[in-house]
């Protein structure tokens, strides 16, 4: 019987970044009317879109704060009531993507190096 290596195991797809936008593929699609939504594109928020929210809460992935921000930066627009229906895995991915918007270039580069190092060791 062939032995499967760890690299053959399915790997969760990372959110796809493109400049000021990140697309998150949902594990559990949301239904907007009769339309299933399988991915959401998030736009890096402008300062005014953060009004009334705590930056500390966003960086610390506070659920309530993330749910308030999603309608302001998502395409298609996911209203807060629909955001409340997100699978926890999807909410975690979205929270991570939002957190990434607050990283400096140096922090992103360091994170990329850490990920590359971890992948090369596996």
Q: Is the dihedral of CA 56, 57, 60, 66 positive or negative?
A: negative
Share of the chain above pLDDT 70, in %: 84
Distance CA 71, CA 82 (A): 9
The answer on pLDDT for 6 being more than 90 is no
pTM: 0.76
**How far apart, in whole angstroms, are the C-alpha atoms of residue 97 and residue 74?**
12
Tokens describing residue 76? 């298609």
Tell me the DSSP string of 53-107.
S-HHHHHTT-HHHHHHHHHHHEES---HHHHTTS-HHHHHHHHHHHHHTT--HHH
pLDDT tens digits, residue range 13-33? Answer: 455 555 689 999 999 999 988
């Amino acid at each position: 019987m062939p032995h499967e290596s760890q690299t053959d195991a399915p790997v969760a797809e990372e959110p796809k970044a493109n400049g000021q936008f990140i697309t998150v593929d949902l594990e559990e699609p949301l239904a907007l009317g009769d339309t299933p939504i399988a991915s959401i594109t998030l736009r890096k928020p402008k300062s005014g879109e953060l009004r009334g929210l705590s930056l500390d809460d966003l960086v610390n992935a506070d659920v309530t704060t993330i749910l308030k921000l999603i309608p302001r930066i998502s395409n298609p627009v996911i209203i807060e009531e629909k955001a409340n229906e997100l699978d926890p895995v999807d909410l975690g991915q979205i929270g991570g993507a939002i957190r990434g918007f607050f990283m400096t270039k140096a922090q992103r580069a360091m994170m990329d190096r850490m990920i590359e190092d971890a992948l090369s060791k596996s």
